[in-house]
Structure 1
Amino acid sequence: MKIEPLVSPSTAELKAALQSCETARSGGKPTRLVECAFGDFTSVARGKLVHADDFTGMGGCRAPSVVMGLTLTAGEPEAVFGPLLPDSYDDMHLVPDLRTLSARPGRPGELTVLCEPTGALRSATGMVDASAYSPRAALRAVLARLDAAGLQALVAPELELFLLDRDAQARLSAARAHGGSLTRERACEALSLERLSHFEAYFDELYAACDLLGIPVNGHAHESALSQYEVNFRHGEPLAQADAVFRFKRLAREIAARHGYLCSFAPKPFLDEPGTGMHWHFSVQRQAADWPHLFAEPAGADSAALAHFVGGLQRAAPAAMAFFSPHDMGYDRIALSNASPSHASWGHEDRSLAFRIPASGASARRIENRLPGGDANPYLTVAATLGLGLLGLQAAEPPMDDSDELLRLPRSLPTALDALHASQALRELLGDPLVNAFIAIKRHEHAERAALAQPREQWDLTHLLELG
């Protein structure tokens, strides 16, 4: 598997893109600053604000490679720096994908664009291009495989989130709608429109920012846990949808902070409440075919290809759980399951299944991956799901029976990381540099957390709650 670095736009293309955004904005105010953003393994938005002239002059901007190897707590694992990434923190070039260039919500005269790192970096095994560590670049590589097979995909995510208050003693409670006399939710008000109305100002601002950035939100509701909400997205092209989720999580947190409370995608903030999922719906289409819908026959029956896609997912699910549940807290979501799958099971309609086939017509037949938690990286989640499903298709893998012990999912992060380390399928799809760096970072985080007297309180609720 070779990840091709993103091609740098020419100076003329950069200037034309800036001019187009300026023209689209009311009044055509000149751009002063451009935000160059990219995601690390935790999908925290990192990058720089640079002057528009520097942005066009440099074709993006530069950033130190250290940010690709940091843990959630800004740790620098010895297993990463030196063996995998340069311990001298060599610079990378952040190449903008101009398809993602947009006005920055709430910041007149500023634009934002998603970038990918490129440039040769030193490692113990030789020179490696920075793109080999990029989750976004890895997804592009999987989509190139899909295209080479004459296929394309549509995906639609569903994101759950919590709106919370945290007091001086770090105790969590349901958020109170600030600025009024509205009461705090005391028990779960699932699908309550009345409770939802208390946070209309927050969701109004969030939707307006999503519209500006082209994030295809499609509605929201109160979910089945105290202070938990779900936001649905319309279906779209996989890379654009992963970009949308990456941007959405940041927006949701930033706007909540302005409203006086905390938005969290952490997988299990309350042990006695349902966890936070990031469910993805996947459909696959044949290119240039009279009947393009791969997962169903024209008469409506499931196709053999759907079963093979599921078979590929099932066989590598224990290893993929390292991506779907990348922090220790996520395994509380599995152990204390509430509609969170504990086995790589599949079937129709049942929401306890890992790979659910929702009721649908033949042209809308799809597979819902219900394994990812809210803290999963969207690029790695989509890349792993589509890549493993494609391998299943190509090998005509049969689906596994629910009684098969191999379907049992890991109950801890170290077990999932061991499975990922041994997974030839995911190494083939994502590349050894990315897989090795991801494992080293997550093992460091696990050891750091395990050394604490109160791991959940001192690590999960201190760090993951706000950054997952």
Structure 2
Amino acid sequence: MLALPAMSAEDLRAALASCGPVAPRWVECAFGDFSAVARGKRVHPADFVGMKGCRAPSVVLGLTLTSGEPDTVFGPLLPATYDDMHLVPDLSTLAPRPGRAGEVTVICEPSGSLPTEHGPIDAAQFSPRAALRRAVAQLAAQGLQATVAPELELFLLERDATGRPQAARPHAQAPVRERCCDVLSLERLSHFEPYFDELYAACDTLGIPVNGHAHESALAQYEVNFRPGPPVAQADAVWRFKRLAREIAARHGFLASFAPKPFLDEPGTGMHWHLSLQRTDAAGEWPHVFAQPSGEDSPALGHFVAGIQRHAAAAMAFFAPSDMAWERIALSNASPTHATWGQEGRDLALRIPASGPTSRRVENRLPGGDANPYLLLAATLGAGAWGLRTAPAPIAGRAEALALPRSLPEALAALADDVLLRDVLGAPLVDLFCAVKHHEHAQRAALADPRTDWDLTHLLELA
């Protein structure tokens, strides 16, 4: 597992000083768990420098979405004594915290030896962000780099008297509420301009490359587009964006939700990713991997697609990590049930958008809004890179070999058995992820009304 670069106290002091003319009073050390919930601490700058980050209990690595602590996790996979770990900051992500004068935020990764029943293990093995950096490094070893761009859908909602979601009003006193889906409605966008203005200003502060938004094809649903960039930075951007969207919505009196299927009779929430590859050793030659200079698709594009197809069943555990996510697939007008590929069609899992040779790309349309951006990108790039190494042919149509799992337990079983993804992400991470998600599924299934008591109680606000 790749470690973040070592830092001196002088490095940390210089980084804090670079954040503005006034020294910060607080440093927020943040990292994302498997559900992409932001965990961490706010510490004094002197402690941040002295500890070269901060310390946190390892219990947060194995928490479920409801903050449960499964027996299958604590003891076998993580220490039951909740030993501390080190949160190591990535100083390239240090920035002022939007709306908080005198406070900065930095993305961290866990590190440090943890005791388990099977011997000590480094906390870094459980880091989604470190797993993505490892997948990027494996690409680099093949002389390649990736450029990715996400499209992220979200709902703006309120709860009615029974706790069920409904379209949000722009503010508490507003007389308007969307009653039916207004696809691409500029008027609906204008109602929420103060919210998006504040959200975009916060994005500018954190360097999140948002590129515009529109009303999507479901009631109260919007899509935000991002400019292309490198994988780790883009995953950081999506992770930070989701948190900002929720926090700012709360200040405006409504919910921003990335839950994959808040309304059973409306389209669900997707998180689509456009991916292209470039050669890092082209030395003045044509660097674009997926197309020929003349405009035709390259053989490498097909091999990359074929690699994702071969491992899509296992990767679905990351693309659809909740039971509600499988409702998005089962009750869908555009969520694929097979790992199909081709040109343009929105019902394809792996779509090749119309584009010129320098922007030829693959769009992965399988992930839902509750997917962890680090894990889904690591799985996608790892599988695609395997396709480039082994050169399989892509499978056309809806062959049985392309059928995807139909439930979260099926996807977790496929992931547990997938040798490649266990290597790309690390067996400890895969085992812990499967244990946490199996526990969540069982806990939800035991409820009298799983959708109300689990999905709409927890996932609606935390996805």
TM surpasses 0.5: yes
Specify which of 171, 175, 180 is matched with residue 168 of structure 2.
175
1:151 has 2:144 as partner = yes
Matches within 5 A, 1:14-93: 14-22=12-20, 28-93=21-86
User: Whole-Å Cα distance in 1 between the matches of residues 174 and 320 of structure 2?
Assistant: 38
1:316 matched to which residue of 2?
311
- Match for 2:236: what amino acid? D
Contact (CA 8 Å) 1:216, 1:244: kept in 2 or not? Answer: yes
Structure 1: which amino acid aligns with 2:164? R
Offset at residue 338 of structure 1 (A):
1.4
Match of 1:334 in 2: 329
Q: Does 1:197 pair with 2:195?
A: no
Note the C-alpha offset of 1:172.
1.4
Name the stretch that deviates more: 168-177 or 88-97.
168-177
Q: Matches of 1:180 and 1:164 in 2, distance apart? A: 15
2-structure distance, mates of 1:425, 1:179: 50
Q: Render the CA deviation track for 1:149-183: whole Å, top value 9, x for unaligned.
A: 10001000000000001023102110011155341
* Cα deviation 1:215-253 (Å, max 9, x = unaligned): 000000000000000000000011000000000000000
Q: Find out whether 1:425 has 2:420 as its counterpart.
A: yes
Does the CA contact (< 8 Å) of 2:270 and 2:365 recur in 1?
Answer: yes
SS in 2 for 1:329: helix
Q: CA deviation at 1:124?
A: 2.0
Q: Deviations over 1:3-22 (max 9, x none)?
A: 12223311000000001112
> Of 2, 6, 9, which aligns to 1:8?
6
- The equivalent position to 1:439 in structure 2, one of 431, 434, 459, is 434
Aligned residue for 2:371? 376
**5+ residue gaps in structure 2?**
none
Q: Would you say 1:346 and 2:341 are equivalent positions? A: yes
Q: Work out the CA distance in 2 between the residues paired with 1:281 and 1:67.
A: 31
Distance 1:403 1:178 in 2: 46
Q: Map 1:82-121; keep pairs closer than 5 Å.
A: 82-121=75-114
Q: CA deviation at 1:427?
A: 0.3
Q: Which residue of 1 aligns with 2:242?
A: 249
Does the Cα contact within 8 Å between 2:305 and 2:394 map onto a contact in 1? yes
Secondary structure of 2:19 counterpart: helix
Question: Partner of 1:262 in structure 2?
Answer: 255
- Matches of 1:242 and 1:39 in 2, distance apart? 11
Aligned match of 1:25: none
Partner of 1:162: 155
CA distance in 2, matches of 1:321, 1:29: 46
AA aligned to 1:151 is L
Superposition TM-score, scaled by structure 2 size: 0.99
Residues 6 and 118, structure 1, Cα contact 8 Å, conserved in 2? no
* Unpaired runs of at least 5, structure 1: 23-27
In structure 2, the residue corresponding to 1:406 is in which secondary structure? Answer: helix
1:228 counterpart residue number: 221
Paired residue for 2:394?
399
Distance 1:132 1:416 in 2: 22
Q: Distance in 1 between matches of 2:337 and 2:268?
A: 13
Answer yes or no: is the 8 Å Cα contact 1:219–1:233 preserved in 2: yes
Q: Distance in 2 between matches of 1:145 and 1:288?
A: 15
Contact in 2 for aligned 1:8/1:59 (Cα 8 Å): no
Q: Distance in 2 between matches of 1:53 and 1:403?
A: 59
Q: Hey, what does 1:458 align to over in structure 2?
A: 453
Q: Deviations over 1:267-323 (max 9, x none)?
A: 000000000000000000011311000000110000100000000000110110000
Q: Is the contact between residue 8 and residue 95 of structure 1 (CA under 8 Å) also seen in structure 2?
A: no
Aligned counterparts of 2:392 and 2:57: Cα–Cα separation in 1: 43
Specify the code of the residue in structure 2 equivalent to 1:202. Answer: Y
- Extract structure 1 runs of 4+ deviating beyond 4 A: none
Structure 1 equivalent of residue 405 of structure 2: 410
> Is the 1:342–1:408 contact (alpha carbons within 8 Å) kept by the matching residues of 2?
yes
User: 2:125 is aligned with what amino acid?
Assistant: A
CA–CA distance in 2 between the matches of 1:310 and 1:29?
50
Give the Cα–Cα distance (whole angstroms) in 1 for the partners of residues 421 and 110 of structure 2.
Answer: 21
Q: Which amino acid aligns with 2:461?
A: E
Number of matched pairs: 461
User: 1-side partners of 2:225 and 2:75: how far apart?
Assistant: 42
- Name the SS of the counterpart of 2:115 in structure 1: strand
> What letter corresponds to residue 224 of structure 2 in structure 1?
V
The more displaced of 44-53 and 395-404 is: 395-404
**Contact 1:156/1:281 (CA < 8 Å) preserved in 2?**
yes
